[in-house]
Structure formats: C-alpha cells, structure tokens
Amino acid sequence: MRRQLAKCMASLVSKGLMTGTGGNASVRIGESGELLITPSGVYKPDLRADDIVKIDLDGNLLEGARPPSIEWHFHTAIYRRRGDAMAVLHTHSPYTIGLALAGRQVEPVTVEAAMVLGEVPILEFMLPGSEELGRAVGDALTNHRAAILQNHGVVTAGCNLAEAINIAEVLEATSKMMFVASLFGGARLIPPDRIESVRGLNKV
Ligand SMILES: [Zn+2]
C-alpha cells in the first residue's frame, strides 16, 4: 500500500492533476482506526514507499520519520464519517479549480460524469491544514463523492485508491470538456428526463 501511494502521487503529477509540491493521499488500513498518508514537504515525484507515514484518526504519528500531510484533518474527518471510505485523495486539478474560480459548477455533461460524479459542491475558502477545513470537507464528503475547495483544490473519497483516483480524473476531464464547450457557447446537457437512467448504469 505504501508503494501504491507513492507511485500514484508521481503519476498524478505527470498527468497534470497536481504540482510536485501540492496534493496528498491516504488509505485506511482495514477496519482499523489507522491510516497511511503521504508526508508533508517531499517533492511528489521523489516520494518513496518508506516516506509514507502511519497515523491514527487523531493525527498522532505512529510510524515514519516525517510529519504527515498538513491536511490530515480532512482525511481523518472523512474516515470518521464514512465507513465505506478506504482512500482519500486531494489534488490541485487546474481545470476544475479554474471553473470554480469563475463560479461555475461542474455539471454532468457526459455519461461518465453523470455516472461517476454526481453533484460536486464548491466549499468556500478556508485555510489549508485547518480544523475548520477538516470539518467542512468531512461534512461535504458524507454524501458526495468529491468536493472542490475554493482557491485551492479537489478532495475525493473511494472504496479503494483506484476509485478515489478515478473520481478525480473524471472530474478534471469533465472540467476540461466544459472549458472547451465554453469557448463555443457552452455545453449541452444530457436531457433531464434521461439523467437518472444514465446515473443507474453500471458499466458502459
Ligand atoms: Zn492542497
């Protein structure tokens, strides 16, 4: 799991979902109240498995030589509220942040977006690493798969790391499509009377 976490951060940097110093991720260890989380202060493409640290749900360092990500508050807040969440990912996705800066919601403009995302709330600006941000993100992710932090980034939660990554990738891809469509007058939406059927599809 440590290797997987380190590898995924480098891959998300190369895909343009975060800069080398931004973003973080964690996975919960089974049913325990412990999680593996990326450390703060390491350039993501250089992350190694033994840089990943173990903390408890109060942010206490259990294993590792580095401090945990300063965003451990929202990681633990999500695990406390969502028994099904086994992985949490925070990215600085540029197209998604760009739409939020302009006050635009991400909409279900494609089949994939409708199936994977649902509604994605935009949370007002709060200080990174604060308990206030932790509480707000925990509340938002209780009944959403992703949330946007204004002037900052994106948080997703999934039943495993692959699902949390997929939600972040679909969100950013959807934002890019909305941006392209905005250059030509805006996106056409899936007809409202079909959207619920699309959301019910398991696979395309
Ligand atoms: Zn951040």
Q: Which two three-digit tokens encode residue 1?
A: 């799991």
Q: What percent of the chain has pLDDT over 70?
A: 99
pLDDT band at 202 (very low <50, low <70, confident <90, very high): low
143 CB-near residues (< 8 Å, 6+ apart): none
- The predicted model gives 164-177 an average pLDDT of 98
SS3 (DSSP) at 10: helix
Catalytic residue among 31, 71, 107, 112: 71
What distance in angstroms lies between residue 16's CA and the mean position of ligand 1's atoms?
14
Ligand 1 centre to CA of 6 (Å) is 17
Q: Ligand 1 centroid to 50 CA: how many Å?
A: 22
pLDDT for 204 beyond 50: no
Q: What is the mean pLDDT of the chain?
A: 95
pLDDT of 74 higher than 90: yes
Residue holding tokens 């395309």?
Answer: 204
Where exactly are the structural domains of the chain?
2-199
> Mean pLDDT over residues 18-30, rounded?
95
| Rounded Cα distance, 41 and 63, in Å | 17
Per-residue pLDDT at 21 exceeds 70: yes
Centre of ligand 1 from the C-alpha of residue 128, in Å? 7
| Residue 71 annotated to the active site | yes
Q: 69 CA to middle of ligand 1, Å?
A: 10
Q: Is the pLDDT of residue 115 over 50?
A: yes
Interacting residues of 38 by C-beta distance below 8 A, sequence separation 6+: 5, 6, 9, 24, 25, 26, 44, 47, 51, 52, 68, 69
**pLDDT category, 203, cuts 50, 70, 90?**
low
Residues with Cβ–ion distance below 5 A, ligand 1: 153
Q: What's the pLDDT band for 70 if we cut at 50, 70, 90?
A: very high
Confidence band of 12 (pLDDT split at 50, 70, 90): very high
CATH classification (class only), 2-199: alpha beta
